[in-house]
Amino acid sequence: MTGPQSAPKIAVRGLRKLFGRKRVLDGLDIDCASGESVVIIGGSGTGKSVLIKCILGLLHPEAGSVRIDGIETVGLRRAARERFLQKFGMLFQGGALFDSLTVWENVAFGLVQGRGMERRAAREVAFAKLAAVGLGPEVGELRPAELSGGMQKRVALARAIAAEPEIIFFDEPTTGLDPIMADVINDLIVRCVREVGTTAVSITHDLVSARKIADRIAMLHHGRIIWEGPTAEIDRSGNPYVDQFINGRAEGPIQMEIRAA
């Protein structure tokens, strides 16, 4: 693994995002060093996915700064954003595979459409990436709808790593999978982060997954990072919010918003 360097690969400062009157992100700060795997934990609806979408430029924040390799990316124009997005890979929670394409075309999509690679060469890369996530060549010609949830997740992972991006985001990579398949996905994530030296930012509720894939864990609550530290220190964080979350207790400072029907 590449050791964390002094200049952060990703630097987020004062990020604010509103939906109507609701402040989802409220002056959020976080850094991620090159080659580091950071996992952001937090309850449902606390803005974890919104944070990733703001970094990628899929959502436009009301205020704040997102610097990638020191370059400001908030407010980039369309063409510049397309170029800057070539640094990123993204594993979506539901896979987000294209139904109308075969599995190998999904994996090769970013290479062919985004980078102009020849279809034949991209096909070879796609099959190699499918093999890297444990899927045989027979899967390549199937449609995503013909695969199980776990296989779809692996295909989505193959697509995320196909172009060997510098930074990969994992949105709930193990949600909806059985524990064994979840561990397979965790191993794949660890392998592609540690072996290739990719910078990884993951969001998850799954503490088992977080402990396995993270160098550092950060907790998001009320639109801000309320605790961050090395994975090994999460059990002795001394933060009552973190303690309540990792122990899964209903009682504590985090109050779930439950509305009567």
Residues 74-103, mask of contacts with other proteins (x by CB under 8 A): ----x---xx-xx-xxx-xxx-xxxxx---
d(C-alpha 146, C-alpha 19), whole Å: 36
Of positions 8, 61, 64, 110, contacts other proteins by CB under 8 A: 110
**Coil, strand or helix at 171:** strand
Provide, rounded to whole angstroms, the least separation between the CB of residue 89 and other proteins: 7
DSSP class of residue 12?
E
β pairing state of 63-68 and 10-19: antiparallel
What single-letter amino acid sits at 44? S
Closer CB to other proteins, residue 8 or residue 110?
110
Quick one: tokens of 82? Answer: 């397309």
| Binding-site member from 58, 80, 208, 232 for other proteins (CB under 8 A) | 58
Query: At which residue do the structure tokens 């509720």 appear?
Result: 205
Angstrom distance (rounded) from CA 144 to CA 98: 7
Question: Which residue's structure tokens are 């950060």?
Answer: 218
What residues numbered 128-167 form the site for other proteins, per CB under 8 A?
159
- The tokens describing 210, both together, are 């977080």
Closer CB to other proteins, 64 or 165, in the complex: 165
Residues 4-33 that bind other proteins (CB under 8 A): none
Distance CA 46, CA 28 (A): 12
Neighbours of 218 (CB within 10 A): 24
CB atoms under 10 Å from CB of 35, counted, come to: 20
The residue among 117 and 132 lying less far from other proteins, judged by its C-beta, is 117
Q: Determine the Cα–Cα distance for residues 146 and 8; give it in Å rounded to an integer.
A: 41
Does position 251 interact with other proteins (CB under 8 A)? The reply is no
Binding mask 163-202 for other proteins (x = CB under 8 A): ----------------------------------------
Q: Closer to other proteins at the Cβ: 126 or 219?
A: 126
Which lies closer to other proteins via its Cβ, residue 162 or residue 242? 162
Q: In this complex, which beta carbon is closest to other proteins, that of residue 122 or of residue 225?
A: 122
Q: Which one of 3, 20, 70, 116 is in contact with other proteins (CB under 8 A)?
A: 116
Sequence-separated (6 or more) residues with CB below 8 Å from residue 124:
none
Q: Please say which residue, 35 or 110, places its beta carbon nearer to other proteins.
A: 110
| Interface positions with other proteins (CB under 8 A) | 53, 56-58, 78, 82-83, 85-86, 88-90, 92-94, 96-100, 109-110, 113-116, 159
